[in-house]
Amino acid sequence: MNKESKHKAIALFSGGLDSILAVKWMQRLGFTVYPVFFATPYLPPERAIESAAMNGIKLIVRDISAEHLQILETPVYGFGKYMNPCIDCHGLMFRLAGEMLAELGADFLISGEVLGQRPMSQRREAMNQVGKLSGYKYLLVRPLSQMLLDDTLPIRDAWVDKNALLDISGRGRTRQLALAKELGIDFFPSPAGGCLLTDASYSLRLKDLQKHNQLDNENLHLLRYGRHFRLNPTCKLIIGRDREDNANIESQGKRGIYLDARDITGPVGYITCCEPDEESYSLALSIFWFYHRKAPDQGYIVIRTGDKRSESFVNKCDETTVNKYYITT
Ligand code: SF4
């Protein structure tokens, strides 16, 4: 490791290989690095926390749900393929990291961005737009590609030796994998699977919430789990697809109505409001019963609201009706 530098950096840390490399490379050059993960309901921190722990990286996690939801309204640079406003998102994250500089006693910002790697946010023009949006363009250093980018203050003022930085570009992973080997990094998550805003089905569910002005904490946290059905403008039904969904729905849903089959095992159902109109309520029950595929056409459902329990006899919904209400691609 090089001589310790008096300059310190905050790193945007996603948990992916590029962000691990950026942190490790700068640490090897002697910089103190504070990796930060910005969490939202659609960008949960578990993957980054595990990746940091496996690589001996001390991670700071900050929740930025409120700020991020604002940029989802009308992102300056629009959306990617689905609900992912990547340029605005990176701009926001750099701005928030910039606002943490004084708090952490750091001087500049780094990330694992690689020039030309992502079609939307890592083109040269997009990287400039990210910098401008953040208000901290002058303090950004991208260690993996900085040799190919314009100099910023940390380089002009020789806090960082540009020649010690890298010139990786493009979508290939060969150089990153070689670098990982050199730095002794043998755990990193696969590139896919981080941000749910790049998932077609999740994006549809999110759009539905946005359209109905229901972007509150409970609804957002439930969005990751189960099948979702829009019953009316104020109410949805969610049905778990597996044990994990069922457990998460049970732990996240606080104000709605729970459904369980009385006489057979099956998924958990959750109506997201506590006073649905009669039509939506019986629709919810019959859709719920549809997902007990081996059950007879009629049966009993236990309804749980807070401490209260009751039972209802229902008829199975037909598939055409189920599909009409199902929010899916
Ligand atoms: S993929 Fe998600 S987290 Fe990553 S920049 Fe795009 S919107 Fe932000």
191-236 per-position pLDDT tens digit: 766 899 999 999 999 999 999 999 999 999 999 999 999 999 999 9
pLDDT per residue as tens digits for the range 79-115: 999 999 999 999 999 999 999 999 999 999 999 999 9
CA of 23 relative to ligand 1 center, distance in Å: 19
What does the pLDDT read at residue 1?
Answer: 61
Sheet with 308-315, strands from edge to edge, namely 227-232, 235-239, 269-271, 257-261, 298-305, 308-315
pLDDT reported for residue 192: 66
- Quote the pLDDT of residue 120: 77
Give per-residue pLDDT as tens, 18-28: 999 999 999 99
Q: What's residue 290's pLDDT?
A: 98
**Mean pLDDT score of the chain:** 95
CA distance linking residue 256 with residue 215, whole number of Å: 16
The amino acid that residue 76 corresponds to is V
Which amino acid residue places its CA nearest to atom 3 of ligand 1? 195
CA of 258 to the centre of ligand 1 (A): 33
Inform me whether the pLDDT recorded for 123 exceeds 80: yes
> Rounded to a whole number, what is the largest CA-CA distance in the chain?
75
Taking CA atoms only, the protein residue closest to ligand 1 atom 1 is 195
Considering the chain, what percentage of its residues have pLDDT values greater than 90? 93
Ligand 1 centroid–CA 143 distance in Å is 20
pLDDT band at 11 (very low <50, low <70, confident <90, very high): very high
Query: Probe ligand 1: pick from 12, 36, 89, max atoms within 8 Å of CB?
Result: 89
Walk me through the domains of the chain, giving residue ranges and CATH numbers: 8-182 (3.40.50.620), 199-325 (no CATH)
Rounded to two decimals, the pTM is 0.91
Residue 179, pLDDT score: 97
Measuring from atom 5 of ligand 1, which residue has the nearest CA? 86
Give the pLDDT confidence of 313-324 residue by residue, as tens digits: 999 999 999 999
Q: What is the pLDDT of residues 242-253, one digit of tens each?
A: 999 999 999 999
- Element (DSSP H or E) covering residue 303: strand 298-305
Q: What is the mean pLDDT of residues 63-84?
A: 95
Distance 123 CA to ligand 1 centre (A): 15
Q: What's the chain's length in residues?
A: 329
Question: Could you tell me whether strands 8-12 and 108-110 are parallel, antiparallel, or unpaired per DSSP bridges?
Answer: parallel
Ligand 1: residues whose CB is within 6 Å? 43, 84-86, 89-90, 121, 195, 197-198
Ligand 1 centroid distance, CA of 67 (Å): 14
pLDDT at position 75, please? 96
CA–CA distance, 252 with 66 (Å, rounded to integer): 18
Ligand 1 closest atom vs CA 87: 5
How high is the pLDDT of residue 259?
98
Do residues 277 and 232 touch, judged by C-beta distance below 8 A? yes
Helix, coil or strand: residue 222: helix
> 140: CA distance to ligand 1 center in Å?
18
Q: Report the atom number in ligand 1 closest to the C-alpha of 120.
A: 6
| Ligand 1, atom 6: closest residue by C-alpha | 86
pLDDT at 69 over 90: yes
Mean pLDDT (whole number) for 275-282? 96
Question: What average pLDDT does this structure show over 276-287?
Answer: 97
Q: CB-based contacts of 282: which residues, under 8 Å, 6+ apart?
A: 314
In whole angstroms, what is the distance from residue 201 CA to residue 204 CA? Answer: 5
* pLDDT of the residue at 121: 83
The values of phi and psi at residue 13, to 5°, are -120, 120
Q: Are 108 and 155 in contact (CB under 8 A)?
A: no
Residue 191 has what pLDDT? 72
pLDDT of residue 193: 64
